[in-house]
Structures are given as C-alpha cells and as structure tokens.
Structure 1
Amino acid sequence: MSGLVARTGRHQQRYEAGCRLIAGCIPFKHRNPDEGSNENSEKVVEVLMINSPSGPGLLFPKGGWENDETVEEAAIREAIEEAGVRGVLMEFLGHYHFKSKTLQDEFSPEGSCKATMFALFVEEELESWPEQSTRIRSWLTIPEAYENCRHPWMREALKDGFSKWHENKISTGEAFPDQD
C-alpha cells in the first residue's frame, strides 16, 4: 500500500470558464448508538474531516480534478490521498463556487474554483496514506463538523447537500451499505 503517492503539479488540471475544477467528498460512517441507550435509537452519523496545513479549521478532502480521470475518480483519489479512506460514492451533493487565494494561476487569476462534492460511504480507513504526515483525521458529528468547518462553501455542502440527502435516505428507509 505504501506505493500510493499524492499527485502534484497543475499541468493536468481541468478548467472551465476561468474556474479551476475541484472534486471532493464528505466521507461518512454510522456509529452505533452509545451503550445504555434504547436499542431502537438511530445510528449516529459521523463525517470525516482533516486539518489544513495552511491554517485553522477543518476541511473535507478535495483537490483538483485532472484530465485523465472522471470527477468521481478524482473525488475518490482525494479521499485516499488526503484522508486515507476508501469507500463508495453514494450521492452527488452539488456544485459549490469559491475563491482560493492559494490557487490563483494564469488560467484562473481570480482563484475561482468550482467544486463538485459527493457523499462517500467509508468502507476502509488506511493505516498509511500519501498525506498522513501533514493531515490529522477527525470523525465528527454533523453539528461538530459544521462548527469546525473552515470554509463557508463546505458548511453549505454539509448542510444543504449532505444533511438533506442523508435525512431523506433515513426517512424513506433506504438502506446504506452494511458496516462491519
């Protein structure tokens, strides 16, 4: 597994109308209710966030969508590279526009970015992953994640994309993959 290496450089980056295209995901799992609670209690949803080497607050894994991959493949790759998790993309959550001070370049001088975000059901947490030396993983409840989220657009993806989709799945009784 140690053969995994994070991609670097921007020569493969995709752009659209002056926006750098970003792919990302909100990794999640279900935690069984705490001991002593009613056995009919709903499982608690936890989302995985990572620290940012460039400042305070937590982030969801995301990065540039490259020319040789689909947006889904890019989202899965970023989850492995940045957060060290593998899983199944369950749902497209939406497109989110933001400006990045660190991603300004000749193709996007304003730093405009358009992120395509997905819900990723985590099936495996890797013991080693490409960015483990600079990233710390944190499993948080949705309210905790919302509070600790560094970027407003990620908060929006969590609240308006992920939370609404997840509540709808539960209320309609649709099954999630089994977790061991």
Structure 2
Amino acid sequence: MSDLVARTGRHQQRYKDGYRLVAGCVPFRYKSCDDDSSSEKIVEVLLINSPSGPGLLFPKGGWENDETVEEAAVREAIEEAGVRGDLMECLGCYEFRSKTHQDEFSPEGLCKAAMFALFVKEELELWPEQDTRNRSWLTVSEALGSLRHAWMRDALERFCKWHEEKFVG
C-alpha cells in the first residue's frame, strides 16, 4: 500500500459561479522509435481508467482551498495516476458537466477544469488510487480514440499544438 493518501470529501472544494473548479493534466513522455536509424521520439500520453464507467481519462480532480491550481494538478497526477514530473504550460480551461459530482454548490454538476501539460519523470510503484486505477501509455492517435470525453480530446489536441510549437517548430 502507498504511504501517500488521496484526499477525500468536499469540505475544501473550490467553487465559482456555480462551477466546481477542477485541475488536471496531460501526462506525457517520449518513447524512442524502434527503428535504430531514426532518432525521432514518439510522444506518449498517460491515460487512466475510471471506476465510474468505460473509456479512459486524464488525471483530474477537485481544486481545493488550501492549494494553487498547479498544486492541485500535480496532486491529482500522483493520486490517480501515480506519476510525478515537471508541470508545464496551462493548456486551457474546459467546461463540462459531471453526472457523478452534483452537490449543493453545483446541483447541475457544472465543472471548469484547468488542464496542464506534465512531463513525467517518475512512475510510482505504489500510489493512492492504484486499487481502482490502471495506467495506459498511448500514442496521441490511440489516446484520441480512447478518451471518454470530448473536452479531454480538445485538451489533447491543444497539447499537441503546444508541444509542436515548443519542442518541434
């Protein structure tokens, strides 16, 4: 069992204008091509399963009152996916409706997620939600076909544009 413990409950949860505020990330790494003649590196992104249904997701969760949005994104990556690394650019904010997280402050389940790029440097052997989450490293095209939510596909597409500008172009 992991020494790290996932935060639970809603008593520290941030809300604004009827939206539950959420932080998450697009964890990525580089995989060298199998072809030794090429030094090209393939970008892989990390997706996790959800206990609440089919399809894969990026790690994300509630942003709490005692942390910055960046700290929340890093914490969610550790809790849900068991990865640590360098948090990079904010890829944008995405609005969505959660069917599983409706409460008195957001009865319609409205959420606003700030998503960041996270360059993964360490995969933990043990992490808080390892009993309910599986990790899957996928190429961008595989991930686009596997993500459960359209807003996460949008975040991945924005990640691709950011990565191209920052590291390739």
Give the TM-score band, short-chain normalised: over 0.9
Q: Distance in 2 between matches of 1:39 and 1:104?
A: 50
Q: Distance in 1 between matches of 2:146 and 2:139?
A: 11
In structure 2, what is the equivalent of residue 175 of structure 1?
none
Unmatched tracts of structure 2, length 5 or more: none
- For 1:44, give the aligned amino acid: I
Q: Distance in 1 between matches of 2:9 and 2:58?
A: 21
* Alignment partner of 1:32 is 2:32: yes
In structure 2, what is the equivalent of residue 118 of structure 1?
116
Q: Quote the offset at 1:34 in angstroms.
A: 1.0
Q: Distance in 2 between matches of 1:158 and 1:63?
A: 17
Q: Quote the offset at 1:35 in angstroms.
A: 3.3
Deviations along 1:17-43, one digit per CA (max 9) or x if unpaired, are: 00000000000000011134x324x20
In structure 2, what is the equivalent of residue 150 of structure 1?
148
Q: Quote the offset at 1:2 in angstroms.
A: 2.8
Q: RMSD between aligned alpha carbons? A: 1.1
From 159, 165, 169, the counterpart of 1:162? 159
Q: Quote the offset at 1:5 in angstroms.
A: 0.3
Q: Distance in 2 between matches of 1:68 and 1:127?
A: 27
In structure 2, what is the equivalent of residue 18 of structure 1?
18
* Alignment partner of 1:105 is 2:103: yes
Unmatched tracts of structure 1, length 5 or more: 173-180
Q: Distance in 1 between matches of 2:137 and 2:3?
A: 26
Q: Quote the offset at 1:106 in angstroms.
A: 0.3
Give the % identical residues: 73
- For 1:82, give the aligned amino acid: E
Deviations along 1:140-160, one digit per CA (max 9) or x if unpaired, are: 00000000000111011001x
Q: Distance in 2 between matches of 1:132 and 1:103?
A: 21
What TM-score do the two structures reach when normalised by structure 1? 0.91
Query: Structure 2 matches for 1:1-180, cutoff 5 A?
Result: 2-36=2-36, 38-40=37-39, 42-159=40-157, 161-172=158-169
Q: Quote the offset at 1:171 in angstroms.
A: 2.9
Deviations along 1:30-61, one digit per CA (max 9) or x if unpaired, are: 0011134x324x20000000001111100000
Q: Quote the offset at 1:123 in angstroms.
A: 0.5
Instruction: Number of aligned residue pairs: give it.
Output: 169
Q: Which runs of 4+ in 1 moved over 2 A?
A: none
